[in-house]
Amino acid sequence: MEVVVQQERRTCDQGRDMHMEAVIKLLPDDVLADILRRLPPRSLATSRCVCKAWHDMIDAGQLLRADLLPHTLGGIFIDFRFLQVSELFRPSTRTAVSGDLTYSSANAAVSEHCNGLVLLPSHTVVNPATRQCAQLPPLPPLPSRAGMEDFYVLGGDKFLVFDPSVSPHYEVVSIPLVPFEERLGRMPRESEWPPSLFVLPVYSSETKRWEERPFVRQGSAAGTIAGMLEEDRLHLGVKRYGVYLRGALYVQIQNDFCCRISMADRKYRVIRPPAGMEMAEYPELHLGKSGNEVRCALVEDAFRFLRVWGLDESRGRCKWALKHRVDLRQALARGMCRREETDERWILENVNDGGGGSDGEEEGDDQAPAKSDYMSFLGFHPFEDVVFLCDTLTRGLAYHLKRSRLEYMGILRPRHYGHIAGSVAGVNASFPYTPCGMGELS
């Protein structure tokens, strides 16, 4: 039935495109371009999706302003333990987007980011560049959740889907997780996970409601529910990241497995962990993207080595390929260039302590460590072959993978953070942020 509906939808879309193209031919190109040019960015992005002819005209005339699209790195949102508001670590001299999101929610800790939009634990979607926000409705008791309510404890993991160059609308996908043994109820432990037909709750800003969408699995499952229960003990509290690229949502599920979810054709594929992950003492895989490639990274061996993989999707494959292995201690021993010699310094906004920013010059908490005890991975540069690291929860570093060069960016430790968090200080999650100046949230 689902296949028939999709075929009918494609037939209708093709008929609509043919009709629109016939109408467009009646108008001179310069007249149509002038009409489209008068539209606001949100309406122009919608018009780009109407038919192929409009899509081509808008792109050829560069009518959609590139400066409003998420094509630059605005900083890194960092969610520190015991702080209610995520801090924005950003360049100090550029025109900045404020990282203070307390106008949208008291608990303004960023839990997800996609092309300029961020998601907060209060289920609020925020655009920091336009300072607009929208509250998601509660996840309803959908039929597919019957008997699986505990798989959506705290709502499950939620991921944003947004590409303003394609559509002004966003979606939020809720991914269920295998709960603890005592909460499984009558669910068969030998069942495959994820199931062959994965029915996911999806919120659409266009329809303003949650709906169920079935996704058919291609290939094998990650394992069984029993297997997830046995292995997931090592991954308690680990942040699971998502990436939206070329119409597909890539998400981390459990036990270092990932899923590639094709939003258009309603199919998904399980991606197995990179080779050698089982040997990692603290398996904390970080999913992200760099350019047009999905990547993942791991800091291992007492936080000494960094490994970076790229996802090989050629010839129908979906497999991780090792791209870089970096000895971080050797990189530190070689020394690093300081960012003030090459570019602007980066600062932390310190919104949890009244703002004002910090460039690391003041005394006390903001001083760099005498030695490097451990490294944390903060994320991938979305447009360059660079990764961001945190040295002993104090210094922000950039490692240029192609040039094997370490660069000091600035101090990223929140002011007085040591007194607030004590021995449990750390980073819960981090998100390279790409500002988007388009559209209104709804």
Do both 150 and 28 map to the same domain? Answer: no
* Domain count along the chain: 2
Do both 25 and 91 map to the same domain? Answer: no
- Is 439 among the domain residues? no
Do both 220 and 365 map to the same domain? Answer: yes
* Percent of the chain residues past pLDDT 70, beyond the cut: 72
Last residue of a domain, one of 64, 79, 102: 64
Last residue of a domain, one of 17, 43, 64: 64
List, for residues 361-375, the tens digit of each pLDDT value. Answer: 443 444 455 556 788
Do both 53 and 190 map to the same domain? Answer: no
Nearest CA to 107 out of 352, 347, 348, 350 is that of 352
Do both 154 and 189 map to the same domain? Answer: yes
pLDDT at 183: 72
- Report the 3 state secondary structure along 239-299: CCCEEEECCEEEEECCCCCEEEEECCCCEEEEECCCCCHHHCCCCCCEEEEECCEEEEEEE
Do both 251 and 365 map to the same domain? Answer: yes
Nearest CA to 122 out of 85, 97, 152 is that of 85
Domain that holds residue 92: 68-433
- Is 419 among the domain residues? yes
Q: Distance between CA atoms of 350 and 347, rounded to whole angstroms? A: 9
Nearest CA to 429 out of 79, 188, 74, 38 is that of 79
Q: Which of 5-19, 145-159, 298-312 has the lowest mean pLDDT?
A: 5-19
Angle (CA) 432-46-132 rounded to 5° is: 45
Q: Distance between CA atoms of 242 and 159, rounded to whole angstroms? A: 6
Do 399 and 387 meet the contact criterion of CB atoms below 8 Å apart?
yes
Mean pLDDT, residues 153-174: 86
List, for residues 195-244, the tens digit of each pLDDT value. Answer: 999 999 999 999 999 999 999 999 999 999 888 876 555 555 678 999 99
Both tokens assigned to 62: 């560069």
Cα of 355 vs its chain's centroid, Å = 26
Do both 16 and 86 map to the same domain? Answer: no
| Sheet with 132-135: strands ordered across | 112-114, 117-119, 124-127, 132-135
Q: Which of 9-18, 178-187, 238-247 has the lowest mean pLDDT?
A: 9-18
Residue with the bigger pLDDT between 125 and 336: it is 125
- Is 184 among the domain residues? yes
Do 394 and 421 meet the contact criterion of CB atoms below 8 Å apart?
no
Which domain CATH number covers 249? 2.120.10
Residue with the bigger pLDDT between 144 and 128: it is 128
Q: Which of 113-127, 146-160, 164-178, 300-314 has the lowest mean pLDDT?
A: 146-160
pLDDT at 3: 41
List, for residues 383-405, the tens digit of each pLDDT value. Answer: 999 999 999 889 999 999 999 99
Neighbours of 432 (CB within 10 A): 23
List, for residues 249-269, the tens digit of each pLDDT value. Answer: 999 998 889 999 999 999 999
pLDDT at 187: 77
pLDDT at 184: 74
- Is the pLDDT confidence value at 181 over 70? yes
pTM flag (> 0.95): no
Do both 124 and 209 map to the same domain? Answer: yes
Do both 124 and 30 map to the same domain? Answer: no
Do both 77 and 60 map to the same domain? Answer: no
Last residue of a domain, one of 64, 84, 104: 64
